[in-house]
Amino acid sequence: MTESSRELMRRYRKNGDLLARTRLIEAHMSLVHSLARRYANRGEPLEDLVQIGSIGLIKAIDRFDPSRGVALTTYAMPTIIGEIKRHFRDRGWAVRVPRGLQELSMRLARILEQLTSELERSPTIAELAIAAGVGEEEVLEAIESSRAYATVPLSTQSEGDEDEDVLAGFGAPEPAYEVSEDRAVLAPGLALLDDRERRIILLRFYAGLTQTQIAQRVGISQMHVSRLIRRALDKIRSAIGVVEEASTS
């Protein structure tokens, strides 16, 4: 641990200085990035792994005991890796999917990204199959199997671009009664979504952007956008169901 890290840790441990804790976290984020990169290309976006890893880092900083004579980085490394591995274990494939199909699904996700970039549009099933050197049936099976892959809900700060206008517009007065009524029905569900899910739902269904356009704007893959839309709709549906049950009982 460097002198400044030692001093920051001392201030945090002794005085509960939260600013020192924040600086410690920032000073060790390069370690999180480095470890997260090891687990990239396994079906989860790097940014999500960094967020998961940073939770491990925070836990390590909070539990670290300087009197044991171990460096903070040495102590934090297994905690960060453990957090990332747990993420894969707990939130990975929700149902048993054969390993070959899992691998094909992940390979197709990478090819899909490449083709979308090359063609400047989403590829067809046939184009994806040719690029992957497999049959269309296998592609369809792999796409279906990827629906069994669940991802952790992670809040992502809005980048503060023009999407802000879309979000602001959703809360603004709207003359059309039907729209207001829809909003009232959807409000409990939207409130359950994290920032990124809400942003994606509004961009897709309110601003009318395609999944690919949203993917480019948010910085994740189109397939990941699709998964997040599904998850967000699940949450909204559940919330509406709860409200409806409560109002009829």
Partner 1 sequence: MASEITLTIPPGREFRDVAHFVLGGLASRVQLTVEHLEDLQIALGEVLACHGGEGALTLEVAS
Near partner 1 by CB under 8 A, which window of 65-73, 83-91, 176-184, 209-217?
Answer: 209-217
Contact of 170 with 130, CB cutoff 8 Å = no
Residue from the set 22, 151, 158, 210 that interacts with partner 1 by CB under 8 A? 210
Residue 140 engages partner 1 in binding (rule: CB under 8 A): yes
Residue from the set 61, 76, 229, 239 that interacts with partner 1 by CB under 8 A? 229
Site for partner 1 in 38-57 (CB under 8 A): none
CA distance 59 to 25: 10
The pair of three-digit structure tokens given for residue 73, joined into one six-digit string: 């980085």
- Residues recorded for the chain: 249
The pair of three-digit structure tokens given for residue 151, joined into one six-digit string: 């991802």
**Beta partners for residue 149, in sequence order:** 93
CB of 45 to partner 1, least distance (A): 17
Estimate to the nearest angstrom the gap between the alpha carbon of 116 and the chain centroid: 21
Residue from the set 29, 125, 179, 191 that interacts with partner 1 by CB under 8 A? 125
The pair of three-digit structure tokens given for residue 247, joined into one six-digit string: 């109002």
**Which residue reads 């939207």 in tokens?**
190
Map residue 36 onto helix, strand or coil.
helix
CB of 192 to partner 1, least distance (A): 16
CB of 226 to partner 1, least distance (A): 4
Catalog residues that contact partner 1 under the rule CB under 8 A: 112, 121-126, 128, 136, 139-140, 143-144, 147, 210-212, 222-223, 226, 229-230, 233-234, 237
